Amino acid sequence: MNLINCKECGKVFASAGTKICPDCRRSEEEQFELVKEYLWDNPNSTVPAVSEATGVEEKMIIKFIKEDRLQSEGLDIDYTLKCKSCGKEIESGIYCENCRNKLVSDFNTKEEKKEKKKDKGKKSDKMFISDRFKRD
């Protein structure tokens, strides 16, 4: 068992592999029950509607969705993913295709610059080694 800080409340607790303390875990279960009960009566509700009716934070409801906990209970919720960058509706992931492509190309140009620096390092290493050979 490791002593770690709870990801939710920051309290130190003895973890058996979980990242949140038993107290927070319990309240998460309670919140899940609330959401579950609401969705049984009101299937296909939107996240903001569920949040308003149950008092459970939208963030938490989205977490339940992402963990497939609502789906595994056979509950439907009207939840559309939106691109984090431009707000367009998407089917999966965090960004829409356009924004993802843009991010990838930005990332690649950054990587290229890094690679060039690395090459320089290698070359000077080689020069150093051949210098040593000459001396030997």
Which residues of the chain form contacts with Zn ion (CB under 5 A)? 6, 8-9, 11, 21, 24, 83, 85-86, 88, 96, 99
43: left (phi over 0), alpha (psi -120 to 50) or beta: beta
All residues at 6 or more sequence positions from 112 whose CB lies less than 8 Å from its CB, including other chains: none
d(CA 45, CA 78): 6
Are the CB atoms for 80 and 96 separated by under 8 Å?
no
Minimum Å gap between C-beta 60 and Zn ion is: 14
CB of residue 119 vs Zn ion: minimum separation in angstroms? 34
Report yes or no: 50 and 38 within 8 Å, Cβ to Cβ.
yes
* Residue whose CB is less far from Zn ion, 21 or 35: 21
Nearer to Zn ion, 7 or 110 (CB): 7
Closest CB to Zn ion among residues 86, 127: 86
Contact 64, 70 (CB under 8 A): yes
The least CB distance from residue 29 to Zn ion, in Å, is 13
Q: Is the CB of 88 or the CB of 120 nearer to Zn ion?
A: 88
State the nearest-atom distance from the C-beta of 57 to Zn ion, in Å: 15
